[in-house]
Amino acid sequence: MPTITTDDGTRIFYKDWGSGRPVVFSHGWPLNADAWDEQLRLVAERGHRAIAHDRRGHGRSDQPWHGNDMDTYADDLAQLIDRLDLRDAVLVGHSTGGGEVARYLGRHGTSRVAKALLLSAVPPLMLRGPGNPEGTPLEALDGIRAGVDGNRSQFYWDLSESFYGFNRPGADLSGADGIRRAFWLWSMQVGAKAAYDCVRQFSETDFTEDLKRIDIPTLVAHGDDDQIVPIAAAAPRTARLIPDSVLKVYPGASHGLHGAYRAAFEADLLDFLTS
């Protein structure tokens, strides 16, 4: 398996498909690079170099005890980009991966990156507080931690329903069982320590200053029926903080890609890559 070894000795698995301009995908919690497979194939078939890694603690990457924090995630991404000597890259981040991309850009700059796309991403800040009244209550996040700490297999299965919006009246349930099984499989591959630690990282990290530093064209995309990262505290605020950004809202769309939502996003992704 292709891997890089980071400065602290952690092996990071990655996929590297096709050739051309690099498009680097960062996955959401608690998944891995496989969650991007359809989009990796799509952009590679359109003449791009599609790359996606398993975040440390997830999938086929090492599961170190330490380093399950947003700064280290961003530094791992930076080392992947540097080791592969990627230039003029487009970064695409979903959910927690969107936070990883934002922290990378805020921490390492844009010398190797031309564009960014944040999909259903956690920035600027998920956690509800005095300055973020529309954020997610701490009690809900504590419930996620309890699920990971308890019967995590059942928790991930249950989470998959709201992740893809299959619990909504009139939801498109075609292929739902297979999609949920894939989500469960990917989720069970993340180490319990990494999964638990990451909840605090995606929910309590404030990305405001990172977003202000992004000086490249950025597409901020989000479904307005996202039950995992509700849009009110996320995409519109993120778009206002990034100087050169465009906000795209998908009516009725969930957190996870499937069906008509996936098709719409993929069309926008291809347009963004060539614009």
Q: What is the mean pLDDT of residues 187-199?
A: 98
For residue 189, pLDDT over 90 is answered with yes
Query: In the chain, which residue ranges form alpha helices assigned H by DSSP?
Result: 37-45, 70-83, 96-108, 138-149, 152-163, 176-188, 192-204, 208-212, 235-241, 259-274
And the tokens for 18? Answer: 């096709």
**Residue 109 Cα to chain centre, angstroms:** 19
* Closest by CA position to 16, among listed 47, 51, 42, 45: 51
Please give the pLDDT value at position 80. Answer: 98
What confidence score (pLDDT) does residue 66 get? 96
Q: What is the pLDDT of residue 120?
A: 98
Mean pLDDT over 176-187 rounds to 98
Range of the domain at 211: 3-274
Is 89 buried (19+), middle (13-18) or exposed (0-12) by CB count in 10 A? buried
User: How many distinct structural domains can be found in the chain?
Assistant: 1
User: For 259-272, what is the mean pLDDT?
Assistant: 98
Contacts of 180 (CB under 8 A, 6+ apart): 157, 160, 161, 164, 166
The stretch 159-179 carries a mean pLDDT of 97
Catalytic residues: 95, 226, 255
pLDDT higher than 90, residue 129: yes
Average pLDDT for the chain: 98
CATH, residue 77: 3.40.50.1820
Instruction: Say if strands 3-5 and 11-18 run parallel, antiparallel, or are unpaired.
Output: antiparallel
Neighbours of 231 (CB within 10 A): 20
Q: For 99-109, write each residue's pLDDT tens digit.
A: 999 999 999 99
Q: What is the DSSP letter of 55?
A: P
Task: Give the pLDDT confidence of 230-260 residue by residue, as tens digits.
Answer: 999 999 999 999 999 999 999 999 999 999 9
What's the pLDDT score for residue 91? 99
Using pLDDT thresholds of 50, 70 and 90, give the confidence band for residue 10. very high
> What integer pLDDT is reported at residue 201 of this predicted model?
98
Question: What's the pLDDT band for 54 if we cut at 50, 70, 90?
Answer: very high
Stretch 186-190: mean pLDDT: 98
**Burial of residue 132, with CB atoms counted within 10 A of its CB: 0-12 exposed, 13-18 middle, 19 or more buried:** middle
Q: What pLDDT does residue 1 have?
A: 87
Percent of the chain with pLDDT over 90: 100
- Is the preceding omega at residue 30 within 30 degrees of 0, hence cis? yes
- DSSP 8-state class, residue 132: B
- Chain position carrying tokens 């202000």: 212
